[in-house]
Amino acid sequence: MGAPRLVLVAAGSADALHFDNAATLRSGGTAPLTANGKNVSPFWSQPRNAWGHWDYIDLGVTDRAQPLHVNLEGPYVVWYGPHGEMVFDVAMWKLHEGTHLVAVKACAGNPGGPTRMSKDACGRDFVLHADGTIGPRTAQHLRLGAAGGAGGGAGLRTVAGVAYSLSGLATGAPTAAHLAYHAAPVVAAEVATAAAGGNAAAVAAVSAGCSIQ
């Protein structure tokens, strides 16, 4: 099914990521996001678009792709990559265990607000803790971690009931569920259903969304 998503886990969880280069980030330097023998990497080579407001890329935890090199600038985890400046973002700003993370940037003209935006739940504001973990500034009981994951926990199973829109994935159009969470167990069921119905295009589309490329 591909690598686990980067998600929010409880502070103290075995699935929380303790970043190897926390000291470099703390001092203002650029560092690869490696932790627990894994890399934080983009799931897709190209961003997807949400409502014409945001370009985003899901983030995963894997040893099969190169890590993102990021900076910690104020409360923002910033990736200066091939698509310009992107920042880490908690999906839909739902600060709960199991919510996945994306890298996001505002579209031209900031129709949904700027890339660096702190308001309401502050889903783009993060804190680097003394133990090398990173968590949301406004939810100090949570940390970045691997769904299912790097420490053998059960984070992904907490979202097994999230609905998926197969037609939306097949066309590449993001749906509310797609933006809210990519639940691998549910995708597996969708793939099986599509395969049974002979829908090869849908199988390919869903499978592509679950593998770091």
Pairing of strands 34-35, 69-73: unpaired
pTM comes to: 0.72
**What's the structural domain count of the chain?**
2
Q: Where are the alpha helices (H) located in the chain, listed in sequence order? A: 22-26, 166-171, 176-180, 184-196, 200-208
- Shared domain for 106 and 177, answered yes or no, is no
Looking at residue 3, what is its pLDDT? Answer: 78
- Shared domain for 128 and 27, answered yes or no, is yes
- Shared domain for 142 and 190, answered yes or no, is no
Closest by CA position to 202, among listed 172, 160, 161: 172
Please report which helix (H) or strand (E) contains residue 102, including its range: strand 101-106
Query: How many CB atoms are closer than 10 A to CB 177?
Result: 16
28-73: per-residue pLDDT in tens?
999 999 999 999 999 898 999 999 999 999 999 999 999 999 999 9
User: For residue 141, which phi and psi values (nearest 5 degrees)?
Assistant: -90, 0
195-207: per-residue pLDDT in tens?
445 544 443 433 3
Q: Is residue 1 part of a domain?
A: no
Structure-token pair, residue 85: 């400046």
Domain that holds residue 106: 6-157
- Shared domain for 129 and 139, answered yes or no, is yes
- Shared domain for 194 and 91, answered yes or no, is no
- Shared domain for 27 and 63, answered yes or no, is yes
- Shared domain for 151 and 195, answered yes or no, is no
- Shared domain for 142 and 169, answered yes or no, is no
Q: Would you say residue 192 has pLDDT above 60?
A: no
Question: Could you give the CA distance from residue 169 to residue 150 in angstroms, rounded to a whole number?
Answer: 27
